[in-house]
Amino acid sequence: MNKIIFKCQSITPMFLGGADGEPDLRPPSIKGAMRYWWRAMYGHLSIEKLKEKESKIFGNTEQRSKVVLRCKTSEQLREKQFSKDVGTGIAYLFYSMDMGANKRYYFDNISFEVILKSKDTMQLKEAAYAFWLLANLGGIGSRSRRGGGSFVITGVEDGADLGFDFMSDARDTDAWKDYLKKGIETIKQHTKIKDIQDKTPFNSLQNMGIHLVNKTHHSATKALDFIGQEFQGFRMEVGGKDASNVKDYIDHGSRISTIDKASFGLPISYRFRQGGSATVEPDSEIYNRSASSLFIKIVQIKGKYYPLLVNFDSVLLPANIDIRVKSRGKSTSVSQSNNAIKQDFIHSLNTIQIL
């Protein structure tokens, strides 16, 4: 049995739920996140081919996974209850973790190992690639697209030729940029995925932009709070126009052409102090939400911390589905926005473009 062991360290809160609702670091949480990034590796395939290939590695209802995943920690996990007094930026990014009865607990600053095993060296390599993408571009658990569950790989014990160094020893942002680009290009060559300019139907390495926010922080908490405040300020500025249009629709039935903030994900809820509320959601019985295609992550470079923005240029919804604004028993259909607002946010910051 071939085996790879990843030694990891979490750097932002991991919101993980076990079977009893208590936080728990379990293989299904990690494997589910790995599946997402594996699909992005093969975003150029048809849905049918993608499912067939995915089931060979991760399994399905008819066959077991060819890759066994185990995880363990070297310490007693102590959960913390999330509170919005941690910082205005973090409170904004993790707002849903402290809403009403939804008081979520999380793990913070934990060391853990992820062990991948397989008799098939090729399947093991693909699973390892997916895990590397997860570690460098994503996160584990709830709010992972908004900076939650970020972690770093601190050590690798491998029994396979992975094609590049899975651990970064970069001493500065330029070296880290080269490290990340080399890993992504190696994976693209492996999967034979080609860059394209058109929007993709779902998030794919075919059309992905990566931007490192060029501002140094001495802790992951400060980096997370900084990017949260920047994101909140930008969304409030843009969302102010959207909110005004929605309010005019509620009060006067005024026409709404589009909701720009929808590019950051749906649904959106509006509640106005002067009275009235509305929900913005996909106009579809099949699609009740559309997750954000802009990922916020915190990375560690030589003991310093930086926000990282990963922007997939994918469609918000299928072309035949509009967005619907609902309020007080009435509703109106609006067109999809063009997703340019995500680029506007990125350009509002001092960033180093990696891809």
Give dist(CA 309, CA 138) in Å, integer.
Answer: 10
User: Quick one: 20 and 139 in the same domain?
Assistant: yes
What radius of gyration do the chain's Cα atoms show? 21
Residue 277 included in any domain: yes
CATH of the domain at 110: 3.30.70.1900
Let me know: does 307 contact 231? Beta carbons within 8 Å: no
Range(s) of the domain holding residue 224? 220-353
Let me know: does 114 contact 131? Beta carbons within 8 Å: yes
User: Quick one: 11 and 158 in the same domain?
Assistant: yes
The proportion of the chain whose per-residue pLDDT surpasses 90, expressed as a percent, equals 65
Residue 203 included in any domain: no
Let me know: does 142 contact 104? Beta carbons within 8 Å: yes
Total-model pTM? 0.93
Q: Hey, CA dihedral for 181, 183, 184, 187, is it positive or negative?
A: positive
Give dist(CA 135, CA 150) in Å, integer.
Answer: 7
Which tokens in the block code for residue 26? 């379990």
Give dist(CA 243, CA 98) in Å, integer.
Answer: 23
| Span 262-284, pLDDT tens digits | 999 999 999 998 889 999 999 98
Identify the pLDDT of residue 83.
Answer: 74
Let me know: does 308 contact 300? Beta carbons within 8 Å: no
**Domain end marker among 133, 160, 194:** 194
- The residue-averaged pLDDT of 159-183 equals 90
In the predicted structure, residue 86 carries a pLDDT above the cut 90: no
User: Quick one: 228 and 314 in the same domain?
Assistant: yes
User: Quick one: 347 and 225 in the same domain?
Assistant: yes
Residue 158 included in any domain: yes
User: Quick one: 163 and 262 in the same domain?
Assistant: no
- The residue-averaged pLDDT of 257-262 equals 90
In the predicted structure, residue 18 carries a pLDDT above the cut 60: no
User: Quick one: 153 and 227 in the same domain?
Assistant: no
Q: What is the mean pLDDT of the chain?
A: 90
Total number of domains in the chain: 2
Please list, residue by residue across 301-328, b when 16 or more beta carbons sit within 10 angstroms of its beta carbon and e when fewer do.
beebbbbbbbbbbbbbbeeebebbbebe
Residue 182 included in any domain: yes
**Domain end marker among 160, 194, 228:** 194
User: Quick one: 257 and 316 in the same domain?
Assistant: yes
Higher pLDDT, 224 or 66: 224
| Span 162-172, pLDDT tens digits | 888 898 989 99
User: Quick one: 19 and 140 in the same domain?
Assistant: yes
Give dist(CA 292, CA 312) in Å, integer.
Answer: 9
Identify the pLDDT of residue 76.
Answer: 66
Q: Where are the beta strands (DSSP E) in 28-74?
A: 68-73
Identify the pLDDT of residue 136.
Answer: 98
User: Quick one: 166 and 246 in the same domain?
Assistant: no
User: Quick one: 171 and 231 in the same domain?
Assistant: no
Residue 58 included in any domain: yes
Identify the pLDDT of residue 117.
Answer: 94
- The residue-averaged pLDDT of 313-319 equals 88
Q: Where are the beta strands (DSSP E) in the chain?
A: 2-10, 68-73, 80-81, 98-99, 102-103, 105-106, 111-118, 151-158, 208-213, 268-271, 277-282, 294-301, 304-312, 323-327, 330-334, 351-353
User: Quick one: 35 and 155 in the same domain?
Assistant: yes
User: Among 34-38, 40-44, 91-95, 104-108, which is the least confidently predicted range?
Assistant: 104-108
